[in-house]
Amino acid sequence: MSDTSGAMDSQTRAKRNAGYYAADMIPDNSIVGLGTGSTVFFMMERLAERMGEGLRVTGIATSFQTERRAYEYGIPITSLHEHDHIDIAIDGADQIDPQFRLIKGRGAAQTRERCVAAAAEVFVIVADEGKLTDWFTAPVPVEVLAFAVPIVMNGLVALGGTPVIREGVKKDGPVITDNGNWIIDCTFPHIENPEELQCTINAMPGVLSCGIFTEFTGKTSIVVGTSDGVEVRSL
């Protein structure tokens, strides 16, 4: 593949560096969880290159977008029905705190991303350094059954949040997820206890999954891309 990194802006170069580094962490003959987003795309680009050199892997995609990209790159795809154990999952994040807790879901894929992370032995997050934060400020995406949206909105307001239904782009009305549900983006003035907030939101009737990920820190490594390299962090 040709090297086009010189023409990229520094954030894109950082994503590419993180994605390429993580692809090189994938062992031969493994089942790989394929996350969603632009940084994961770079990981898949390098993975396809490695497969051309003889690496054998099978992927489990966390979104239609990733699945389509895998078909383009010739990465074979399987499902949790065939493989309920994943050797390594590689995914992006919207914010990462010092304890490796995450906010995910800008791409509305957090429910499948959580399932894949849960099934994985090793969870690798690929991100540019702009994703690192001391405390969460990003809105928390929440995937919700359309039927239950009003009561979940009320519940989020009761928690001190400001919920907004995510609207489609080039589609009137709400975003419909790959699972057929809606997304509510909820801003909180201050997230004091991410674990508690995650559990409270995920327990609301009608919620599939929110984008706060606190349960995988023990198996998480972070590959932080910069414009000229990477820094790998583990706890």
Q: Whole-number minimum distance, CB 29 to ligand 5RP, in Å?
A: 26
The phi, psi pair for 141, rounded to 5°, reads -75, 140
Q: Which residue's CB is nearer to ligand 5RP, number 43 or number 158?
A: 43
Pattern 32-71, binding to ligand 5RP, x per CB under 6 A?
---xxxxx--------------------------------
Q: Encode 34-60: b = buried (16+ Cβ within 10 Å), e = exposed.
A: bbbbbbbbbbbbbbbebbeeebebbbb
Asked whether the beta carbons of 46 and 32 are under 8 A apart, the reply is no
Q: Which residue's CB is nearer to ligand 5RP, number 38 or number 187?
A: 38
Asked whether the beta carbons of 23 and 51 are under 8 A apart, the reply is no
Q: Whole-number minimum distance, CB 141 to ligand 5RP, in Å?
A: 7
Alpha helices in the chain (DSSP H): 10-23, 38-52, 64-73, 110-119, 149-158, 194-202
Q: Whole-number minimum distance, CB 84 to ligand 5RP, in Å?
A: 22
- Which H helix or E strand runs over 89? strand 86-91
Selected range binding ligand 5RP among 29-37, 49-57, 74-82, 198-206, rule: CB under 6 A: 29-37
Asked whether the beta carbons of 143 and 207 are under 8 A apart, the reply is yes
Pattern 204-233, binding to ligand 5RP, x per CB under 6 A?
------------------------------
Q: Whole-number minimum distance, CB 130 to ligand 5RP, in Å?
A: 9
Asked whether the beta carbons of 211 and 141 are under 8 A apart, the reply is yes
- Which residues from 91-110 bind ligand 5RP, rule CB under 6 A? 91-94, 104-110
In this structure, the dihedral spanned by the alpha carbons of residues 213, 218, 221 and 222, taken in order and rounded to 10 degrees, is 40
Q: Which residue's CB is nearer to ligand 5RP, number 101 or number 106?
A: 106
Known catalytic residues?
A: 113
- Where along the sequence are the contacts to ligand 5RP (CB under 6 A)? 35-39, 91-94, 104-110, 113
